Amino acid sequence: MSGLHVAIIMDGNGRWAKAQGLPRWRGHVAGVDSVRDVVRAAPDLGVRVLTLYAFSSDNWKRPPMEVGRLFWLLRRYCIRERDELVANGVRVTAIGRRDRIPAAALRALEQLERDTAEGTKLHLRLAIDYSSRAAIAEAVRTLARQVAEGRLAPAEMTEQKLNHLITRGVAQPDLLIRTAGERRLSDFLLWEVAYTELYFSPTAWPAFRREHLAEALADFRRRERRFGAVPATREERQVAVV
């Protein structure tokens, strides 16, 4: 699948709701509309992989009522959006822990994964109960077990093997967007974003729409990505030709 990989930290739901004089959970409800609009827009804007930070492992620290509503919204999204996602060729997968997701939400999520498995237009990845540091630690433990069992030599614990375990074969994000003005990664894709371009939008997630995604992508396409290299000067290029 060619095209860009865009990752989004969907931030600002609670602050948006507070600014509207609404309870925090209404911000999460409004945020689902943003997910729908961005998922619809992504393929038209050249995005082929979209990774959304839906629920971090640290979010369990929030009030139980808010957490419950978040997983209720996840279940409702998986059920209500299923037909449109299938029709639009969207493949949905989840990353993160699954053992703590409430049973009803987990069943709906895994059913959606099965139903959309043939989608080729967009790969929508939902990071749920996700911690990048935990994912890295688990990958290291996997390699360590293989060494302990004699299936892998210590010298074979390479960056490439670790990368495969962490990324599951998905290319690193080209662009990471965080909404609502904050400028931090919050334990999201720490390994994967080593050379990812960062874009911080002042717009809170419930107000984020197609045009905001297009603006971020336009900014991204104006950048020069060097991946640690330095472009050769005209004189250096001439010497290389000679």
Active-site annotation holds for 11: yes
Active-site annotation holds for 83: no
196 neighbors 173 (Cβ within 8 angstroms): yes
Q: Which of 33, 37, 58, 59 is catalytic?
A: 59
CA angle 210, 166, 146 (to 5 degrees): 165
Residue of 64, 235, 201, 58 lying closest to 129 (CA atoms): 58
> d(Cα 240, Cα 194) in Å, to the nearest integer?
30
> d(Cα 90, Cα 77) in Å, to the nearest integer?
14
> d(Cα 49, Cα 7) in Å, to the nearest integer?
8
- Please give the DSSP secondary-structure letter assigned to residue 11: -
* Residues carrying an active site annotation: 11, 59
